[in-house]
Structure 1
Amino acid sequence: MNIENLSNKYNLNETEKNILLFIETHAKEIKSLGIRGVAKQCYTSPATIINLAKKMNFSGYSELVFKIKGNEVMDKELALSETTKTLFYKKLAERYYEEFEKIMNDYQDKTIMILGSGFSQIIGNYINESLIINGFRSISNSHLELIQKEYAKETLIIVVTESGETSRLKELVKQANENEIEVLSFIGNANSAIADYSRLAIATNDNIQFSKNPHEPHLFYGSILLIFEFLLSKYLKQTIS
């Protein structure tokens, strides 16, 4: 519960803020204390607590306590939920880390070219900037000469694509593959052409580009950022150590 936000919303004074803080931090004791016990602990009166409840549009003291304790439980559940989701992506990154490390070692001092289109290009730009500030020779512009055969083992292509079937990207990756230019792809669909052409395809398997529901959340972009951050962070830590 954010007491400062509530204070601003309901124009609470210091005594009223202290009452809320006490209820929040002594949730287990509230039932046995009752309104008189809370009032005593907060150096105020039961009437002041009831007036606070009314001020916040609650029917009385009981509803005030119920809402505050409910918010506390909800906050803990949300925190646990976020931790669980983050742990999922960390474990997913671990699955790909060994090969990711080998690739980054192979191209640590060579050219890395980032490819993407649409929203994927935005994620590609983020990856590009992250690599640059950490000392990699990375570019986000499509220099087609870099996928010619003479650049084999000298250029790594990183592709960000949700479907793995974007026509222009597929053509470039196919050409790179034919010229022995290696590809690292961040992809939503593991069963796609671009995944097949990749030395390593990091797949989230949450491609919803062709979902019947147009309002489904696009988890792909956020998922890729989390996975990339876990991969790069571990790589940099191990490189430094």
Structure 2
Amino acid sequence: MFSDKINQAYQSLNETDLSIVSVVTQNFNEIPKLGIERLSKMCNYSRTSILRTAKKLGFSGYAEMRNYIRWEIENNKSNSPTTIPTLETDVKQTLVELENTKHFDTIVDRIIANKRIFIYGTGEGQKNCANEIQRLFMQVGVYLFVIKASAEFQIIAKDLTKDDMVIVISLSGEIDRYKESIQLLKAKKIPLVSITTLSNNPLAANADYRLYAVSSSVLLNNAEAHVSFLTFYLLGECLFRRYIEKINLTLNG
């Protein structure tokens, strides 16, 4: 399976490789139809970068990787589908990415120290994740404010100070609808945390601290893609548990 190729090579993959792999897995069923130029535009990386990533995964080049994916899709059609290996891979890759980030403990320290924490989810699924993170921290008397809409985000951003922090949850990381709010946060030096899929995206580029969720897409009957928020919830749970660990260490130390 392609996911096995990723697991085997994971330790050798850099951020560029992981971004390309993320785009490939999110558009898995479309890859057999895509030339390298089209994929290059989707990834915002050069042909050379894609070829280098394909070779790290054990292929001679993009053509062989695309043929391998085509074979896997056709093979899966003739067998009973199972979602467990894909979900397991997503969870493992998200946890490995989390372990390798330099920002995780800093974000938790900010939650402990900052005056107010605001969370903005850019869509319905993202808002549900924000509400769950809010619920988790409410259990220990930490009250995070969930921003309901982009217009509300713009109003709140004007009132924030450097003692506050903002967490934005987004699948794509596109910031067109709330670009002014992001620019205002940067101008006021207000800490910004992004939680996005593993890709090169504008939100992560503008964030002070970045967390990445690996989430493979599933093609629906109407040819639209379903992307799971499972690993986004996982990141929220990890933040909460690390917060508890740090508080307990402080109390017992």
TM-score by length of 1: 0.55
In 2, the alpha carbon distance for the partners of 1:79 and 1:118 equals 25
* Cα distance in structure 1, aligned partners of 2:156 and 2:177: 16
Alignment pair present for 1:101 and 2:105: yes
Instruction: Name the CA distance, whole Å, in 1 between partners of 2:246 and 2:85.
Output: 28
Q: Aligned partner of 1:128: which letter?
A: Q
Once the two structures are TM-superposed, the CA of residue 136 in structure 1 deviates from its matched residue by 2.2
Partner of residue 183 from structure 1, selected from 186, 189, 192: 192
* Secondary structure of the structure 2 residue equivalent to 1:137: coil
Tell whether the 8 Å contact from 1:208 to 1:218 is kept in structure 2 after alignment.
yes
Structure with bigger RCO (C-alpha 8 Å, 6+ apart): 2
Instruction: Verify: 1:165 aligned to 2:165, yes or no.
Output: no
1:126 maps onto 2:132 in alignment: yes
Query: Does the Cα contact within 8 Å between 1:112 and 1:157 map onto a contact in 2?
Result: yes
**Could you tell which deviates more after superposition, 112-121 or 81-90?**
81-90
Match of 1:230 among 207, 214, 238: 238
Which protein is bigger by CA-based radius of gyration? 1
Query: Offset at 1:208?
Result: 6.0
**5+ long unaligned stretches in structure 2:** 1-81
Local SS of the residue matching 1:162: coil
Query: Match for 2:116 among 97, 111, 124?
Result: 111
| Whole-Å separation in 2 of the counterparts to 1:159 and 1:192 | 13
Separation of aligned partners in 1, 2:198 and 2:141: 30
Measured in 2, the distance between the counterparts of 1:87 and 1:204 equals 10
Equivalent residue letter for 1:112 = I
SS for the counterpart of 1:140 is strand
The aligned residue for residue 89 of structure 1 is 94
| Sequence identity (%) | 18
Question: What per-residue deviation string (whole Å, max 9, x for no partner) do you get for residues 96-130 of structure 1?
Answer: 3x422223323425101111133211111111222
How many residues align? The count is 160
Give the TM-score of the pair, scaled to structure 2: 0.53
Q: In the TM superposition, what is the alpha-carbon distance from 1:172 to its structure 2 partner? A: 1.7
Describe how 1:1-241 pairs up with structure 2 within 5 A: 86-96=91-101, 98-108=102-112, 109-116=114-121, 117-141=123-147, 142=152, 144=154, 146-148=156-158, 151-188=160-197, 190-204=199-213, 206=215, 214-219=223-228, 221-241=229-249
The DSSP-based 3-state class of the residue aligned with 1:151 is coil
RMSD, matched Cα: 3.3
Q: Which runs of 5+ in 1 are unaligned?
A: 1-76
Q: How far does the alpha carbon of each residue in 1:161-181 deviate from its partner, in whole angstroms, 9 at most, with x for none?
A: 111114223332222112211
The AA in structure 2 aligned to 1:127 is I
